[in-house]
Structure 1
Amino acid sequence: MKRFVFAAALLVLSIHWSGETLAQELRLPRSTPEAEGVSSSQIREFIVAADEQVNSMHSFMLLRHGKVIAEAWWEPESADKPHVLWSLSKSFTSTAVGLAVEEGKLDIDDKVLEFFPDDAPEEPSENLKAMRVRDLLTMTAGHQDELNWWNEPHWAKAFLAHPVPHEPGTHFRYNTPATYMLSAIVQKVTGETVRDYLTPRLFEPLGIGKPKWDTSPQGISIGGYGLYLRTEDIAKFGQLYLQKGKWNGQQLIPESWVQQATSKQVSNGSNAQSDWNQGYGFQFWRSRHGAYRGDGKDGQYCIVLPEQDAVIAITAKTKNMQAELNIVWDKLLPAFKDQPLPVDPEEQEKLKATIEKLKATR
Structure 2
Amino acid sequence: MTDLRLNRRALMGALAAGGLGWSSTSVAGTASPPRTRIIRRDTNYFAVDYSKPESLGNTQNLASVVEMRPSSRPRPFADGAPIRIPDRFEFDGQLVEMAEFLGKTGTSALLVLTDGKVRYEEYRSPGGREVHWNAMSAGKSLTSAMVGIALRQGKIASLDDRADKYLPWIAGADYGAVTIRQLLQMSSGMARGDREVPNIGAAAAAGTLRDYLRAQKRVTTPGSVNEYVNANPILLGYILAAATGKTIAEYMQDELWEPIGLERPAYLAIDKTGMEIMGGGVMLIARDYARLGELYRHNGAWSGRQIISPQFVRESTAVMAPHLSPEQVDLKMGYGYLWWIPEPGKDFSALGHFGQYVYVNPARRTTIVKLSADLKPGYPDGSHRVTMAALKAIAATTAWSTWLSAESRWRTRHDSNV
TM-score grouping bracket, smaller chain normalisation: 0.7 to 0.9
Structure with greater Cα Rg: 2
Task: Please state how far the C-alpha of 1:136 moved relative to its aligned partner.
Answer: 0.6
Task: Please state how far the C-alpha of 1:47 moved relative to its aligned partner.
Answer: 5.4
In structure 2, the partner of 1:207 is 261
How far apart are the structure 2 equivalents of 1:131 and 1:328? Answer: 35
Kindly tell me: are residues 47 and 67 of structure 1, through their superposed partners in 2, closer, same or farther at Cα, counting changes over 3 Å?
farther
Whether 1:285 and 2:340 are equivalent positions in the alignment is yes
Contact residue 120 and residue 157 of structure 1 kept, 8 A: no
In structure 2, the partner of 1:185 is 239
Once the two structures are superposed, what CA deviation does each residue of 1:1-31 show, in whole Å capped at 9, x if it has no partner?
A: x9xxxxxxxxxxxxxxx79679662210111
Task: Please state how far the C-alpha of 1:145 moved relative to its aligned partner.
Answer: 2.5
In structure 2, the partner of 1:29 is 78
Kindly tell me: are residues 207 and 249 of structure 1, through their superposed partners in 2, closer, same or farther at Cα, counting changes over 3 Å?
same
Task: Please state how far the C-alpha of 1:306 moved relative to its aligned partner.
Answer: 1.1
What secondary structure sits across from 2:403 in the alignment?
coil
Contact residue 275 and residue 287 of structure 1 kept, 8 A: no
Q: Where do 1:232-243 residues align within 5 Å?
A: 232-243=287-298
Whether 1:102 and 2:164 are equivalent positions in the alignment is no
Pick from 308, 325, 328: which aligns with 2:391?
Answer: 328
How far apart are the structure 2 equivalents of 1:198 and 1:129? Answer: 25
How far apart are the structure 2 equivalents of 1:19 and 1:293? Answer: 24
How far apart are the structure 2 equivalents of 1:315 and 1:131? Answer: 33
In structure 1, the partner of 2:18 is none
How far apart are the structure 2 equivalents of 1:276 and 1:145? Answer: 16
Specify the code of the residue in structure 2 equivalent to 1:159. L
Whether 1:42 and 2:96 are equivalent positions in the alignment is no
Moved more, 57-66 or 73-82: 73-82
Once the two structures are superposed, what CA deviation does each residue of 1:27-47 show, in whole Å capped at 9, x if it has no partner?
A: 1011114xxxxx526279875
Specify the code of the residue in structure 2 equivalent to 1:195. A
Kindly tell me: are residues 43 and 305 of structure 1, through their superposed partners in 2, closer, same or farther at Cα, counting changes over 3 Å?
farther
Pick from 282, 295, 314: which aligns with 2:370?
Answer: 314
In structure 1, the partner of 2:104 is 53
Specify the code of the residue in structure 1 equivalent to 2:260. L
Task: Please state how far the C-alpha of 1:68 moved relative to its aligned partner.
Answer: 0.7
Kindly tell me: are residues 337 and 118 of structure 1, through their superposed partners in 2, closer, same or farther at Cα, counting changes over 3 Å?
same
Whether 1:171 and 2:218 are equivalent positions in the alignment is no
Pick from 151, 159, 164: which aligns with 2:202?
Answer: 151
Whether 1:65 and 2:115 are equivalent positions in the alignment is yes
Specify the code of the residue in structure 1 equivalent to 2:181. R
Specify the code of the residue in structure 2 equivalent to 1:32. A
Task: Please state how far the C-alpha of 1:213 moved relative to its aligned partner.
Answer: 0.4
Q: Which runs of 5+ in 1 are unaligned?
A: 3-17, 34-38, 346-362
Task: Please state how far the C-alpha of 1:217 moved relative to its aligned partner.
Answer: 2.8
In structure 1, the partner of 2:185 is 138
Contact residue 265 and residue 282 of structure 1 kept, 8 A: no
Kindly tell me: are residues 288 and 53 of structure 1, through their superposed partners in 2, closer, same or farther at Cα, counting changes over 3 Å?
farther
In structure 1, the partner of 2:280 is 225
Whether 1:340 and 2:403 are equivalent positions in the alignment is yes
Specify the code of the residue in structure 1 equivalent to 2:230. T
Moved more, 315-324 or 80-89: 315-324
How far apart are the structure 1 equivalents of 2:98 and 2:167? Answer: 48
Whether 1:257 and 2:312 are equivalent positions in the alignment is yes
Whether 1:117 and 2:202 are equivalent positions in the alignment is no
Q: Which runs of 5+ in 2 are unaligned?
A: 1-52, 54-66, 90-96, 409-418
Contact residue 191 and residue 229 of structure 2 kept, 8 A: no
Kindly tell me: are residues 170 and 218 of structure 1, through their superposed partners in 2, closer, same or farther at Cα, counting changes over 3 Å?
farther
Contact residue 268 and residue 276 of structure 1 kept, 8 A: no
Kindly tell me: are residues 248 and 269 of structure 1, through their superposed partners in 2, closer, same or farther at Cα, counting changes over 3 Å?
closer
How far apart are the structure 2 equivalents of 1:339 and 1:234? Answer: 23
Structure with bigger RCO (C-alpha 8 Å, 6+ apart): 1
Specify the code of the residue in structure 2 equivalent to 1:237. L
Task: Please state how far the C-alpha of 1:340 moved relative to its aligned partner.
Answer: 2.4
Contact residue 366 and residue 398 of structure 2 kept, 8 A: no
- TM-score normalized by the length of structure 1: 0.79
Specify the code of the residue in structure 2 equivalent to 1:279. G
How far apart are the structure 1 equivalents of 2:181 and 2:70? Answer: 36
How far apart are the structure 1 equivalents of 2:405 and 2:326? Answer: 41
Contact residue 112 and residue 119 of structure 2 kept, 8 A: yes
Contact residue 149 and residue 158 of structure 1 kept, 8 A: yes
What secondary structure sits across from 1:63 in the alignment?
strand
What secondary structure sits across from 1:110 in the alignment?
coil
Kindly tell me: are residues 172 and 244 of structure 1, through their superposed partners in 2, closer, same or farther at Cα, counting changes over 3 Å?
same
